[in-house]
């Protein structure tokens, strides 16, 4: 009888804690799903910047996606939305064939990483870049870092930079 009572207590405990464990696990899964969805939304913000702003030269896209107090780490562009737009507006005028192509991307928290080829024209060998953007939960780009390297005419290996 004592063994049966212990078995009932253990079984009862499992039955009452099972839904709690399932809810906890389900909550973690939903958190991972939400996190993955947020990551995709942040990546889409950066992809939209490339397609609309860098490739179509649509200034309104930058105004929609970049925060007014945008912090810039590229030494050739000032902080803020206006210096960013001014810099690229002039660059687009000087280089109407300017394009950017994303080859790889990754998201880690609020940071979006893209491996990009920038070209001033179709004839330009281009620049290989890794751009890092901080994207807030409101879908605004708030900060940017980049590392750039001109694509050389010749390489010491048979691999491409992309």
Could you tell me which residues are beta bridge partners of residue 145? 132
Specify the range with the lowest mean pLDDT, choosing from 35-39, 51-55, 128-132: 35-39
Structure-block tokens of residue 33: 């799903």
14 occurs within a structural domain: yes
Q: What is the pLDDT of residues 139-150, one digit of tens each?
A: 999 999 999 999
Closest C-alpha to 120, from 86, 155, 91: 91
Share of the chain above pLDDT 70, in %: 80
159 occurs within a structural domain: no
Q: What is the pLDDT of residue 24?
A: 40
**Average pLDDT, whole number, for the chain?**
86
User: Quick check: 162 pLDDT over 80?
Assistant: yes
Q: Please state, in angstroms and rounded to a whole number, the distance separating the CA atoms of residues 80 and 142.
A: 9
Q: What is the pLDDT of residue 44?
A: 98
Read off the pLDDT band of 32 (50, 70, 90).
Answer: low
Q: What is the CATH number of the domain that holds 21?
A: 3.10.450.50
131 occurs within a structural domain: yes
User: Quick check: 134 pLDDT over 80?
Assistant: yes
160 occurs within a structural domain: no
Q: What is the pLDDT of residue 45?
A: 98
- Taking the chain, what is the end-to-end CA distance rounded to the nearest angstrom? 72
112 occurs within a structural domain: yes
Q: What is the pLDDT of residue 30?
A: 52
101 occurs within a structural domain: yes
161 occurs within a structural domain: no
Cα angle: 97, vertex 103, 104; to 5 degrees: 145
Q: Please state, in angstroms and rounded to a whole number, the distance separating the CA atoms of residues 127 and 130.
A: 10
Instruction: Identify whether the C-beta of residue 145 lies closer than 8 Å to the C-beta of residue 73.
Output: yes
Q: How many domains does the chain have?
A: 1
Is the overall model pTM greater than 0.75, yes or no?
yes
The strands making up 99-108's β-sheet, listed across from edge to edge, are 66-72, 141-150, 127-135, 111-119, 99-108
For residue 103, what are the domain limits? 2-150
20 occurs within a structural domain: yes
Q: What is the pLDDT of residue 150?
A: 97
């Amino acid at each position: 009888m004592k063994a049966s009572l212990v078995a009932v207590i253990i079984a009862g405990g499992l039955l009452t804690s099972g839904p709690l464990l399932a809810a906890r696990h389900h909550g973690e899964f939903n958190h991972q799903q939400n996190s993955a969805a947020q990551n995709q939304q942040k990546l889409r913000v950066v992809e939209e910047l490339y397609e609309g702003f860098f490739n179509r030269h649509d200034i309104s896209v930058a105004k929609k996606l970049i925060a007014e107090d945008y912090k810039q780490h590229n030494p050739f562009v000032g902080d803020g939305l206006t210096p960013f737009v001014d810099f690229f507006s002039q660059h687009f005028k000087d280089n109407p064939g300017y394009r950017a192509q994303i080859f790889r991307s990754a998201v880690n928290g609020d940071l979006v990483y893209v491996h990009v080829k920038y070209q001033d024209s179709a004839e330009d060998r281009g620049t290989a870049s890794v751009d890092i953007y901080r994207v807030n939960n409101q879908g605004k780009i708030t900060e940017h870092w980049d590392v750039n390297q001109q694509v050389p005419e010749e390489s010491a290996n048979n691999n491409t930079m992309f």
